[in-house]
Amino acid sequence: MTEQISDQTSAFIDDELPDEESAFLLRRFERDADARGRAIRYTLIGAALRDELSPDHMLLRRRIALAITGAAPPAQRAPSRWRSRWVRPLLGVGIAASVAVASIVGLRALNDARVGSGNPGAASSSLPLQTRAADGPPSYVVPQEVADAPAVAPAVRLTNYIVHHSEYASRLSRTSVRSNVVGAAELLPVTQQEQQERQQPLPQPPPAFKRGTPPE
């Protein structure tokens, strides 16, 4: 999905896309199975993150398919100004889009999620691990796809090291490490904060550290 299509989708979700462009976007979804597939996957992501896949995780797909064929539930009906010649397909995509919006809210909540406060990730904390819900009204943003991200193609050698490393990773981590290679096709550039960190002395080792001969 190009950046332009992402922007259009975002505007469409916000009900800010002109009618002509909305019609164009719908036609795009009708003929572009790839884009349509992505949209459905976004709905799955959102539903999964909100634990709404059970008890029937296929329900969402069926609802979207049903809506696109014109049998949308009344609660999901579009505003009256949309009742034009493309209202039926628009309604269908609108439902898919609204679920995608929920996905983004879910994603945002997930990415903002912290466990408790202070330093709760450490074992000394008695707070249970919980993610907090997003505060404030939802903001509608189309998810940034990996392909659209301002990614720097990773050095093949580093990719190779990580593939090599994955063979030694614990079984708990292997899928994660391999997903990083397969999915996150980006090597993030060194940030200013990281540059500053590099200038700082190494962290104070805990007592369990083993010390040998310092490097020359």
Partner 1 sequence: MARSLLRHPLVFVTLAFCADASAEEARQWLDKMNRAVEDLNYQGTFVHVLEGTAETLKIIHRNADGRSGERIESLDGVGREIIRQDNEVQCILPDRRVVLLEERKDISPLVSSLPGYTDEIEPHYALRLLSTARVANRAVQMLEIKPRDEFRYGYMLWLDRDTAMPLKSQLIDDQGVIVEQILFTDIDLHSAIPAEAIVATIDTTGFTTLRPPESSSLAADIPWRAAAVPGGFKLSVATQSQIAGSQYPVEHLVYSDGLATVSVFIEDPHTKSEVSEGFSKMGSTNAFSLTLRGRKVTAVGEVPRQTVRTIASSLVTE
Among 136, 150, 172, 192, binds partner 1 (CB under 8 A): 172
Site for partner 1 in 185-214 (CB under 8 A): 185-190, 194-195, 197-198, 202-203, 205-214
| Using rule CB under 8 A, residue 150 touches partner 1 | no
- The residue among 161, 130, 140 whose CA lies nearest residue 15 is 140
Instruction: Give the integer Cα–Cα distance in Å for 119 and 126.
Output: 11
Instruction: Give the integer Cα–Cα distance in Å for 105 and 126.
Output: 28
| Using rule CB under 8 A, residue 98 touches partner 1 | no
* Residue 181 beta carbon to partner 1: minimum distance, rounded to whole angstroms: 6
- The residue among 70, 55, 144, 63 whose CA lies nearest residue 98 is 63
| Using rule CB under 8 A, residue 38 touches partner 1 | yes
Size of the site for partner 1 (CB under 8 A): 94
| Structure tokens, 18 | 């002109």
* Residue 173 beta carbon to partner 1: minimum distance, rounded to whole angstroms: 5
Among 25, 68, 107, 134, binds partner 1 (CB under 8 A): 107
State the DSSP string of 32-44.
-HHHHHHHHHHHH
| Structure tokens, 140 | 């509608």
* Residue 15 beta carbon to partner 1: minimum distance, rounded to whole angstroms: 24
| Structure tokens, 167 | 């063979």
Site for partner 1 in 119-138 (CB under 8 A): 119-125, 128-129, 131
Only one of the segments 4-12, 18-26, 33-41, 83-91 lies at the binding site for partner 1 (rule: CB under 8 A); that segment is: 33-41
Q: Which residue is associated with the tokens 């083993």?
A: 210
